[in-house]
Amino acid sequence: MPKIKVAFLGTNGWYDTKTGNTLCILIETPHEYVILDAGNGIYKIDQYMKEDKPIHLFLSHFHLDHIIGLHILAKFSFPQGMTIHCAKGGKRLLNKFVANPLTAHLGEIKLKVKIAELGKKNPSVPFLEKQLFLHHKAPCLGFRFNFGGKVISFIPDTGICDNAIKLAQNADLLITESAFLPGHNSAEWPHLNPETGALIAKKAKAKKLALVHFDAAEYPTMKERKMADKCVKKLFKNSFAAVDDQVVFV
């Protein structure tokens, strides 16, 4: 079975710093490119996408650090175009956000973009096993993908919840957010930390865990990121705190 390439193009949460860009992850399979969220790290996708394969961008929610990079789409001219997948009601929001006077409207740029709202059945994306809402301040989707038997689960902004564990079940690679430092949490602003990310991985019996979406204020330097890496490895051995431009294979 061919290896699936996962490139962490942006691993920060909230805003860009010297530690990285806001969240964007690129998955390359033999058949398609799959982009997870559109933080500022999305500007790098043309460094990795060299083949004429379908491009699918999945948006978890509409907080700005997850969609701010959409204005960068005007940079690209992939001949195959791109499909943006989002929750119901997202098309209306995107047509307001990616539009004048904020930026060029999607219909005005070189890249041909289609917006598809996700439903119970998504025949155009057979590799998407399920999407479930997580526990966050705003409606936020997590995703479970199955690429020819290899499962990659993406759990962005959330507190610990049953849906996160369902999405992560037996995943070959579980990608979770870790906005908070070890030991930090907030009932008012639900997010994960290295310990709760590891707990989800354990309960779901995931094979490998990657932490992303490190809150830029909580993690101002790579020192804090390394601390998270050390913490999560103690709790879940096959894990790591991702950094920008890191590439792994599943």
Query: pLDDT, tens digit, for every residue of 119-145?
Result: 877 878 999 999 999 999 999 999 999
User: What's the pTM value of the predicted model, to 2 decimals?
Assistant: 0.98
Instruction: Give the model's confidence band at 56: pLDDT under 50 very low, under 70 low, under 90 confident, else very high.
Output: very high
Architecture of domain 5-249: 4-Layer Sandwich (3.60)
Q: Report the C-alpha gap between 84 and 32 in whole angstroms.
A: 14
Distances (CA, A) of 123 to 41, 87, 127: 29, 15, 9
Instruction: Give 192-228 pLDDT, tens digit per residue.
Output: 999 999 999 999 999 999 999 999 999 999 999 999 9
* Percent of the chain scoring above 70 in pLDDT: 100
Domains of the chain, residue spans: 5-249
Give the integer Cα–Cα distance in Å for 133 and 125.
Answer: 18
> What CA–CA distance (Å, rounded) separates 196 from 202?
10
- H helices of the chain, in order, are 64-67, 90-97, 162-168, 194-204, 222-235
- Residue 121 pLDDT: 77
The continuous run of DSSP H or E covering 6 comes out as: strand 5-10
In this structure, the number of other CB atoms found within 10 A of the CB of residue 127 comes to 19
Q: What is the pLDDT of residue 1?
A: 72
Query: How sure is the predictor about 32, in pLDDT bands with cuts at 50, 70 and 90?
Result: very high
| Residues 97, 103: Cα–Cα separation, whole Å | 8
